[in-house]
Amino acid sequence: MKTTVKIGGVPEHFNYPWHKAIEEGKFAQHQIDLQWTDYPGGTGALVQDLTDKKLDMAVLLTEGAVAAASKGSAFKLLHYTVKSPLVWGIHTGAHSNVQSLADIPGKTFAISRFGSGSHLMAIVQALLNEWPLDHMNWLEVKNLDGAKKALVANEADVFLWERFMTKPLVDEGSFRLLGLLPTPWSSFVLVVRNDFLQAHSATVTHISSELLSIQKDLKEEKELVTILANRYGLQQEDVLTWLAQTTWENQNSLSEKEIEEVSECLLRAGVLETVVSAKSLTA
């Protein structure tokens, strides 16, 4: 009898290995019906559906996963899916009066939703630049399309999102790129609801091992650049640049030290009121 597993993640090139594994029947061979859903709204929307039990598992930004789990969301972090940092692009509208990073303090940030990566990394950016956090203003825009509308209409001034997913908007002249902000930690983690893990631990193990296995040799795939460019609407030269700086995880690893560093950063940012031990957040 098949076990149905509902999983979600952002509709971005980072998650291509999941689609490849599903299409090649890697999970089906273990009698697992893995049902993937794209979440353009990002980490905040994924956490909400984990809470509402619409999802069993999810691929989350590390900082979003740590924040939500620390605040009591009933899921555990399993392991990284992408080991390399995420490089966020810091954007403004093409006709905005924001000309450089120095113009940002006091401006309005477009964010997909509170608790999302676009929200948390804006705070990290402020911390790194020693900007006053109480001067930060927010506009929820749900997703990349919402951000485009807000920045083009000058309803918001700044938007942080993965640089290659926004590059087509920079190329077409809707956005201007002000700078880059790499996360100081590994970018994506796989999480699982506590109750689902207890009931289906063997299924979770099969899913994890098949993903890590397919990611081990993925960069050797001959048509990978073309596949990613076509699937995600990117230029092939941008895909090559992105692949050169991206490391998909191929081992069941999660650094407790790094999780604690994320927690400390979120504490400084005012996102968390206390640091929860990494052991209690991980499976």
Residue 118 belongs to domain with CATH number: 3.40.190.10
Check residue 268 and give its pLDDT.
Answer: 83
Residues 127-144 pLDDT 10s: 889 998 888 999 999 999
pLDDT at 116 over 90: no
Q: Give the SS3 label for residue 82.
A: strand
- Name the average pLDDT for the chain: 94
pLDDT band of 269, cuts 50, 70, 90: confident
Prediction pTM value: 0.89
Please write the tens of the pLDDT for every residue from 205-238: 999 999 999 999 999 998 999 999 999 999 999 9
Judgement on whether residues 137 and 96 belong to the same structural domain of the protein = yes
Range of the domain at 223: 3-85+186-281
Residue 114 confidence class, pLDDT cut points 50, 70, 90: confident
With bands split at pLDDT 50, 70 and 90, how would you rate the model's confidence at 42? confident
Give the end of a domain, one of 182, 206, 229: 182
Residue 32 has a CB neighbour count (10 Å cut-off) of: 21
The closest alpha carbon to 36, from 51, 55, 61, belongs to 55
Residues 210 and 268 in one domain: yes
Residue 106 falls in which region: left (phi positive, over 0), alpha (psi -120 to 50) or beta = left
77 and 99 both lie in a single domain: no
Q: How many domains does the chain have?
A: 2
Angle ∠(42,206,251) on CA atoms, nearest 5: 70
pLDDT at 109 (0 to 100): 97
Q: Are residues 69 and 101 in the same domain?
A: no
The pair phi, psi for residue 105, each rounded to 5°, is -50, 130
In the predicted structure, residue 113 carries a pLDDT above the cut 90? no
How many CB atoms neighbour CB 102 within 10 A? 10
Residue 186 pLDDT > 90, yes or no? yes
123 and 154 together in one domain: yes
Give the residue-averaged pLDDT of 167-183.
95
Which residue in 114, 117, 214 sits closest to 162, CA to CA?
Answer: 117
The residue ranges of DSSP E strands in the chain, in sequence order, are: 3-9, 32-38, 57-61, 75-82, 87-93, 108-111, 137-140, 158-162, 175-182, 188-193
Final residue in a domain of this structure, among 159, 182, 205:
182
For residues 100 and 220, membership in a common domain is answered with no
Domain boundary among 132, 167, 182: 182
Please list the alpha-helical segments (H only) found in 130-223: 144-152, 163-171, 194-199, 201-216
